[in-house]
Chain A
């Protein structure tokens, strides 16, 4: 036991000497910064890029697996430190609740824009030439129907927890479609995969950045463009009596952190705030991992090589 302690002290000493060359770390904690990992590839890439960049700046990094929403419990208490992807569209409520306590801090946008909308595969244009205009949907409702919903069309919405007001949208725009909710996004994309294999009709909720719009050819339905007034003011838009007669808002993806990060690792706090990446870059990387089967670490390393100037600016 004594021996390991001694060894440990020696290593720690060596570490301190080696690292004191890096000015950033001089006054900051050597404790690892805990970044959370979730279960979708885009988030793993974002987090790994951030982690690798922070490592280059001399910080110690731990990756921790955590549930997307449940992680806020840990961020509030400081058990977890940084979450790299909170989507405006799905995480807003939990994020607002957490930042309101003062223990969690919003570190700004990641640069990626979340797109969520009704989506159809390209081959459906042959069946229903009016697409992607939403007004064509009612003419083709029967083409999109299944035995359970016929003669109405079937629209597969996201999990109830995602919100999105699809039931309201179908009613407000007087669409002859039945809204069915999938329980998870795995179920959602399983149906898309199945339909695509058979070239069968399907209309569903797809979001980006994600591998699905990269893998499958298709388009978003063009609804009347979203404005805040559309959701709040019934008189706005084609239906004078109801709100939600428009498409879905597109929103940023946010970064959040435990509010203690600022004092404990000010340099890292700064770097995370500066982190920016585009939808295109992310889409390409997600496709490389999920569709071409490349190793995630290799994809991240490649991005690091090609964008050295970008990430060096974050840690200056």
Chain B
């Protein structure tokens, strides 16, 4: 009886709604068919307003006829792309091609690129300078991996594009963030744009970018920047807001102008938080490597793609791990720079050589190996004979598993499909759309009153009138199933690892790798073992989206106020009670945020699962890309973004409520 009383009225409402949904899913389809009410299941013709052709027409106009009078829009965008290309070519000459005169076979190298030794010494020096000897050695080892496994040249191509994309992303993000901090209206205006930048799949806007900015590395760079910049904007605004009041007042007293206040006081004071943003930009840029290589960025991403096309699992893995290694090296370096104590300027020697010992050393090594490389090529380029490769070890391993364990794998898969995946899919596809929209809107009203309700209503109507309802439901099904499984695996691991220090480190390393390893690498083995279908797609999504579930759960448990736990111990709680009655409830808001992030990552994987062969919105975006249909891609991309935003807002509102109920909000 107490159980029944414990459920609130709104709880009863949702239980009832779920019951009705089950009933509707079972019978609505046949009923609507029998009574000639098919419009219940599919978008009625009368309210179809597909806007994809309008978008395509607008794009044509922009590319072919838009003009500013003196010059056309395309000329304007081409000028921008020329501007970005110049520094890129410079960096690329330094790291990869060297300075070359002439074209093709007649080209003459005037100056070689930096030798591999020079680059490794430089990164070692940066690591040493930023933290200590160990970091220097670690970073150097990472780069040595690239040389030894024959990934050097591709890795340097990738590194050059990162070296251009990151400063632009950081500078742009910083600028927008400062503006958003200064003006409230700008913040309001840019916030939804940032949401879209993060949730619309890149494939959706690749085509227009190609049209406007031409073919090649610049278009890839721009796509990378668009994807990687939003966190920098958000973190900048947040960091500036959290600068202590005393510092601000000090600036006022010193008589700063507005500009001085921003650039000389606030930004330097927020330096440490800003570096977190820089770090995010680096990691997201590296996430884009594969997709960028599809439109002419080359580098490691291209190697991964070509290996997989040949089903060379080992080759794909080696290039994929090279991306991970590069990401980890850059991540550790940027974090070290963020934590570094400001240098002491008081006792510097006068001579520039002695003042900058590391820069001098690096320059000397670069020059030395460059000249010596003329006589001893091994010093310039790592010799091919010394390359190591895992060869076909990985292919053989997958073959072994495939031949010996396929039946067991198949049995597990069939069981999961029959008991879980297929029923959920049938349930979601069986629901009539008016019912789904009504329930969503009501949930929005309950969690966030009329604002959230309106947002949810408009976004779901957008999907409906563009005739993407069925595909959207398949999307929700795939994401939902994957998120449930990722949470079921990830949250217990997170909770467990939070209580064991050593396990925590191992788990952290694994999830770092899973997040930076391009999913293409494991797509082939997954398809070989599980066949083309929803199940393979789900596995790929779960692998990628697992990380935040683990990370936030672990973080939530760790940050529970120790005094509360002590209070529990004092009042005689057992370990189990401590976990279930104190730690878990208090970590709940954090765990919910983790689920939120899991959903976001799962949604961002949709475009990749389309490559396995699913039939949802990701596939729609991919088809639009291969047919160069701008409008179709953007509409499907927006639909994905809207699903993500609806989920995000609802969970965020739910987490806030939970926090208020636990009295955590007031404490902040």
Contacts and interface: CB of A to CB of B under 8 A. Distances in A.
Query: Does A pair with B?
Result: yes
Contacts of B619: 160, 183
A180 interface: yes
A65 B293 contact: yes
A7 B295 contact: no
Given A39-B309, A79-B216, A290-B310, A65 B296 contact: yes
B623 A79 contact: no
B533 A180 contact: yes
A193 B532 CA distance: 13
A182 B527 CA distance: 10
B: contact size bracket = 35 or more
Contacts of B363: none
Given A156-B532, A160-B619, A74 B611 contact: no
Contacts of A31: 103
B628 A79 contact: no
Interface string A103-137: 00000000000000000000000000000000000
A64 B532 contact: no
B381 to A, nearest CB: 17
A194 B313 CA distance: 13
B510 interface: no
Interface in A231-258: none
Interface stretch (B142-150, B203-211, B352-360, B641-649): B203-211
Nearest to A147: B414
Find the residue from B298, B523, B610, B626 having the highest chain A CB count within 10 A: B626
A26 interface: no
Contacts of A65: 293, 296-298, 302
B306 A160 contact: no
A191 B105 contact: no
A160 B623 contact: yes
B215 interface: yes
B214 to A, nearest CB: 5
B628 A62 contact: no
A15 B627 contact: no
A186 B611 CA distance: 9
Interface stretch (A53-61, A275-283, A308-316): A53-61
B215 A80 contact: yes
Nearest to A51: B104
Contacts of B216: 64, 74, 79
Interface in B214-232: 214-216
Contacts of A183: 532, 609-614, 619, 622
Interface string A184-221: 11111111011001101000000000010000000000
Contact of B402 (A40, A64, A147, A197): A197
Interface residues of A, number: 62
B74 to A, nearest CB: 8
B330 to A, nearest CB: 23
Contact of B311 (A30, A60, A68, A186): A186
Contacts of B623: 160-161
Contacts of B563: none
A45 to B, nearest CB: 13
Interface in B250-295: 293-295
Nearest to A3: B110
Nearest to B106: A15
A198 B403 contact: yes
Contacts of A55: 104-105
A94 B627 contact: yes
B215 A73 contact: yes
Given A65-B298, A161-B623, A193 B103 contact: no
A191 B628 contact: no
Contacts of B102: 11-12, 15, 60
Nearest to B306: A39
A199 to B, nearest CB: 9
A4 B100 CA distance: 10
A209 B596 CA distance: 46
Given A11-B108, A12-B101, A147-B410, A71 B215 contact: yes
Contacts of A185: 309
B123 interface: no
Contacts of A80: 215
A19 to B, nearest CB: 8
Find the residue from A8, A31, A186 having the highest chain B CB count within 10 A: A186
B210 A74 contact: yes
Contacts of A87: none
Interface in B501-534: 523-524, 527-529, 531-533
A191 B532 contact: yes
B625 to A, nearest CB: 7
Given A12-B101, A182-B613, A187-B523, 15 more contacts: A39-B302, A39-B306, A55-B104, A60-B105, A69-B625, A70-B294, A70-B295, A74-B216, A79-B214, A94-B628, A148-B417, A186-B308, A186-B523, A193-B528, A198-B402
Interface of A: 4, 7-8, 11-12, 15, 18-19, 30-32, 39-41, 55, 59-62, 64-74, 77, 79-80, 93-94, 97, 146-148, 156, 159-161, 180-191, 193-194, 197-198, 200, 211, 290
Instruction: Pick the 10 closest A-B CB pairs, nearest first.
Output: A74-B215, A60-B103, A183-B613, A194-B528, A60-B104, A183-B611, A79-B215, A190-B527, A73-B210, A161-B626
28 contacts: A4-B110, A11-B102, A12-B101, A31-B103, A39-B302, A67-B625, A70-B206, A70-B294, A72-B628, A74-B214, A97-B628, A147-B417, A148-B533, A159-B613, A161-B622, A161-B623, A180-B532, A183-B611, A183-B613, A186-B309, A186-B523, A190-B311, A191-B528, A193-B528, A194-B528, A194-B529, A194-B531, A211-B310
